Protein backbone atom coordinates (compact mmCIF):
# COMPACT_ATOMS: atom_id res chain seq x y z
CA UNK A 1 0.00 0.00 0.00
CA UNK A 2 2.79 2.42 0.83
CA UNK A 3 4.40 1.67 -2.51
CA UNK A 4 1.16 2.26 -4.41
CA UNK A 5 -0.35 5.29 -2.71
CA UNK A 6 2.50 7.81 -2.53
CA UNK A 7 3.69 6.78 -6.00
CA UNK A 8 0.51 7.58 -7.86
CA UNK A 9 -0.63 11.13 -8.55
CA UNK A 10 -3.18 12.02 -5.91
CA UNK A 11 -3.90 15.68 -5.25
CA UNK A 12 -6.22 14.63 -2.39
CA UNK A 13 -3.37 12.69 -0.71
CA UNK A 14 -5.55 9.79 0.47
CA UNK A 15 -2.39 8.22 1.93
CA UNK A 16 -2.65 10.68 4.85
CA UNK A 17 -5.83 8.89 5.95
CA UNK A 18 -3.85 5.62 6.01
CA UNK A 19 -1.21 7.19 8.22
CA UNK A 20 -3.80 8.50 10.66
CA UNK A 21 -5.95 5.34 10.74
CA UNK A 22 -2.92 3.12 11.26
CA UNK A 23 -1.54 5.35 14.01
CA UNK A 24 -4.93 5.51 15.75
CA UNK A 25 -5.20 1.72 15.74
CA UNK A 26 -1.70 1.16 17.07
CA UNK A 27 -1.63 3.38 20.14
CA UNK A 28 0.07 1.64 23.04
CA UNK A 29 2.09 2.25 26.18
CA UNK A 30 5.14 3.37 24.20
CA UNK A 31 3.23 5.67 21.84
CA UNK A 32 3.88 9.35 22.39
CA UNK A 33 0.67 11.24 23.24
CA UNK A 34 1.18 13.61 20.32
CA UNK A 35 0.96 10.66 17.90
CA UNK A 36 -2.53 9.72 19.07
CA UNK A 37 -3.70 13.33 19.18
CA UNK A 38 -2.53 14.09 15.64
CA UNK A 39 -3.95 10.81 14.30
CA UNK A 40 -7.34 11.47 15.87
CA UNK A 41 -7.33 15.11 14.80
CA UNK A 42 -6.68 13.94 11.24
CA UNK A 43 -9.46 11.38 11.39
CA UNK A 44 -11.85 13.94 12.88
CA UNK A 45 -11.11 16.38 10.08
CA UNK A 46 -11.46 13.70 7.41
CA UNK A 47 -14.55 11.93 8.71
CA UNK A 48 -16.57 14.70 10.33
CA UNK A 49 -15.38 17.76 8.43
CA UNK A 50 -14.79 16.18 5.00
CA UNK A 51 -11.13 17.21 4.68
CA UNK A 52 -9.00 15.59 2.01
CA UNK A 53 -5.73 14.01 3.05
CA UNK A 54 -3.92 17.06 1.67
CA UNK A 55 -6.06 19.37 3.84
CA UNK A 56 -5.44 17.16 6.87
CA UNK A 57 -1.71 17.28 6.23
CA UNK A 58 -1.80 21.08 6.08
CA UNK A 59 -3.86 21.17 9.28
CA UNK A 60 -1.26 18.98 11.02
CA UNK A 61 1.47 21.41 9.96
CA UNK A 62 -0.57 24.37 11.20
CA UNK A 63 -1.32 22.67 14.50
CA UNK A 64 2.36 21.88 15.02
CA UNK A 65 3.31 25.47 14.13
CA UNK A 66 0.79 27.02 16.50
CA UNK A 67 1.27 24.59 19.35
CA UNK A 68 5.02 24.31 19.15
CA UNK A 69 6.32 22.96 22.40
CA UNK A 70 3.78 24.87 24.48
CA UNK A 71 1.22 22.09 24.70
CA UNK A 72 1.56 19.21 27.11
CA UNK A 73 -0.20 16.48 25.15
CA UNK A 74 -2.29 14.25 27.40
CA UNK A 75 -2.40 10.51 26.87
CA UNK A 76 -5.39 9.08 25.05
CA UNK A 77 -6.30 5.47 25.76
CA UNK A 78 -7.68 3.26 22.99
CA UNK A 79 -10.79 1.23 23.53
CA UNK A 80 -10.44 -2.49 24.08
CA UNK A 81 -11.50 -5.01 21.49
CA UNK A 82 -10.94 -5.68 17.80
CA UNK A 83 -11.22 -3.02 15.09
CA UNK A 84 -13.99 -3.24 12.49
CA UNK A 85 -11.46 -2.73 9.66
CA UNK A 86 -7.67 -2.79 9.59
CA UNK A 87 -4.87 -2.22 7.14
CA UNK A 88 -5.26 -5.85 6.07
CA UNK A 89 -8.81 -5.16 4.85
CA UNK A 90 -7.53 -2.22 2.83
CA UNK A 91 -4.79 -4.31 1.25
CA UNK A 92 -7.30 -6.98 0.27
CA UNK A 93 -9.56 -4.42 -1.42
CA UNK A 94 -7.47 -4.29 -4.57
CA UNK A 95 -6.00 -1.24 -6.24
CA UNK A 96 -7.41 1.98 -7.61
CA UNK A 97 -10.89 3.20 -6.66
CA UNK A 98 -11.63 0.08 -4.61
CA UNK A 99 -8.61 0.78 -2.43
CA UNK A 100 -9.46 4.46 -2.09
CA UNK A 101 -12.97 3.57 -0.90
CA UNK A 102 -11.53 0.98 1.51
CA UNK A 103 -9.16 3.61 2.92
CA UNK A 104 -12.06 5.99 3.53
CA UNK A 105 -14.05 3.23 5.25
CA UNK A 106 -10.98 2.33 7.33
CA UNK A 107 -10.57 5.95 8.42
CA UNK A 108 -14.26 6.07 9.35
CA UNK A 109 -14.11 2.90 11.45
CA UNK A 110 -10.84 3.94 13.09
CA UNK A 111 -12.47 7.23 14.11
CA UNK A 112 -15.59 5.39 15.34
CA UNK A 113 -13.36 3.16 17.47
CA UNK A 114 -12.31 6.21 19.45
CA UNK A 115 -15.88 7.42 20.17
CA UNK A 116 -15.01 7.83 23.85
CA UNK A 117 -12.50 10.57 22.88
CA UNK A 118 -14.49 12.34 20.15
CA UNK A 119 -15.66 15.30 22.20
CA UNK A 120 -12.21 15.92 23.64
CA UNK A 121 -10.69 15.98 20.13
CA UNK A 122 -13.46 18.25 18.79
CA UNK A 123 -13.05 20.67 21.71
CA UNK A 124 -9.28 20.74 21.43
CA UNK A 125 -9.38 21.27 17.69
CA UNK A 126 -11.66 24.29 18.10
CA UNK A 127 -9.38 25.70 20.77
CA UNK A 128 -6.17 25.09 18.82
CA UNK A 129 -7.07 25.99 15.27
CA UNK A 130 -10.62 27.19 14.56
User: Quick one: what percent of the chain has pLDDT higher than 70?
Assistant: 88
The arithmetic mean of pLDDT across residues 110-117, rounded, is 96
**115: containing domain:** 15-128
Most confident of 1-10, 33-42, 78-87: 33-42
Decide: 41 and 63 in contact? Cβ < 8 Å.
Answer: yes
- Residue 6 in any domain: the answer is no
The arithmetic mean of pLDDT across residues 110-130, rounded, is 88
Structurally, how many domains does the chain consist of? 1
Burial 61-87 (b: 16+ CB within 10 A, else e): eebeeeeeeeeeeeebebeeeebebbb
Reply yes or no on whether the pLDDT at 2 is more than 70.
no
- Residue 66 in any domain: the answer is yes
- Residue 96 in any domain: the answer is yes
- Residue 108 in any domain: the answer is yes
Amino acid sequence: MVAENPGRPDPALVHQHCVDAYAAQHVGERTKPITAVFALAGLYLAVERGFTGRQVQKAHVELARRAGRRIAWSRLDPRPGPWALTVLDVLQAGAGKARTLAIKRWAQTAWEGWAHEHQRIRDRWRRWIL
